[in-house]
Amino acid sequence: MRVGLKHFLTIAILVLAASSIAAQSPTPSSDNLKKTNARPSASPSPSANVEAFNTATVPQMSGQCVTLDTEQGAIVIEMLPEKAPQTVRNFLNLAASGALDTTTFSRVVKGFVIQGGNLSTSEHWGDELATRMQKTLADEPNDMKHVRGIVSMARGDEPNTATTHFFILVGDGPHLDGKFAAFGRVLRGMEVADAINRAESADEKPVVPVRIKHASVSPCEK
């Protein structure tokens, strides 16, 4: 009986996660969209309970970079904890724990954003990741401008609903300024983000989603 209930809860959470993808998405303004088209491993099971940066201070998180090793190449993201400390802490924990490994960029808006962080796309989807995906964050809007290369948290229409979804801007989104928590900046790999953004898609869903093979945290190399 206990096992049956556990599986029922996992399925229920998966359905809720899938239904929230559209809500946790920044909406482009009509003057920012550009129409273009082109087509472009196994990792250890994540430990969603490992929160290595829970007690890290802002100075300790400063200078940290997250590398997303994707099927299209690497994207290196510099963290900006002085702008959004809890959002950065959350993202560092996601990367360090392996929770982002084998997830996909499940949403693209041409000339605007690529969106990742949907843990239900992981090859290791299960109770741990489902539980991790239910943790919500307090909003941390700040004075960072949402320009090309900025990384920010997606969220629902209601306040404080960000979970694990994030987006990388390949174009400018000034209408997002002061509304979404910008927390990182791409240092290297914008050409990879551009390739992911140009890939064939339908209704903002990639025909062949690009997978994050592995995410890692290390001091930035500038």
Q: How far apart are CA 80 and CA 87, in angstroms?
A: 9
Q: State pLDDT tens for residues 45-83.
A: 554 446 889 999 999 999 999 999 999 999 999 999 999
What pLDDT band is residue 37 in, cutting at 50, 70 and 90?
very low
Q: How far apart are CA 169 and CA 23, in angstroms?
A: 18
What pLDDT band is residue 43 in, cutting at 50, 70 and 90?
very low
Name the 3-class secondary structure at 208: coil
What pLDDT band is residue 36 in, cutting at 50, 70 and 90?
very low
Q: Which of the residue ranges 37-41, 82-86, 146-150 would you say has the lowest mean pLDDT?
A: 37-41
Q: Which of the residue ranges 18-27, 104-113, 133-142 would you say has the lowest mean pLDDT?
A: 18-27
CA 83 to chain CA mean position, Å: 17
Q: How far apart are CA 55 and CA 89, in angstroms?
A: 9
pLDDT at 168: 98
| Burial of residue 93 (number of CB atoms within 10 Å: 0-12, 13-18, 19+) | buried
What pLDDT band is residue 27 in, cutting at 50, 70 and 90?
low
> For residue 171, what are its two tokens?
């174009």
DSSP state of 211: B
Residue 23 has pLDDT above 50, yes or no: no
Q: State pLDDT tens for residues 121-171.
A: 999 999 999 999 999 999 999 999 999 999 999 999 999 999 999 999 999
CA 50 to chain CA mean position, Å: 18
CATH homologous superfamily for the domain 2-219: Cyclophilin-like (2.40.100.10)
Average pLDDT of every residue of the chain: 85
Domain coordinates in residue numbering, the chain: 2-219
* Cα three-residue angle 138-141-147, rounded to 5 degrees: 135
Query: Closest by alpha carbon to 46, among 111, 94, 112, 99?
Result: 99
> First and final CA of the chain: distance in angstroms?
55
Residue 32 has pLDDT above 60, yes or no: no
> For residue 29, what are its two tokens?
């303004």
> For residue 216, what are its two tokens?
């890692």
Question: What are the CA-CA distances from residue 185 to residues 10, 25, 72, 140, 207 (Å)?
Answer: 34, 19, 19, 16, 27
Q: State pLDDT tens for residues 3-12.
A: 444 444 444 4
Q: How far apart are CA 106 and CA 209, in angstroms?
A: 6
Q: Which of the residue ranges 23-32, 49-58, 102-111, 163-172 would you say has the lowest mean pLDDT?
A: 23-32
pLDDT at 31: 42
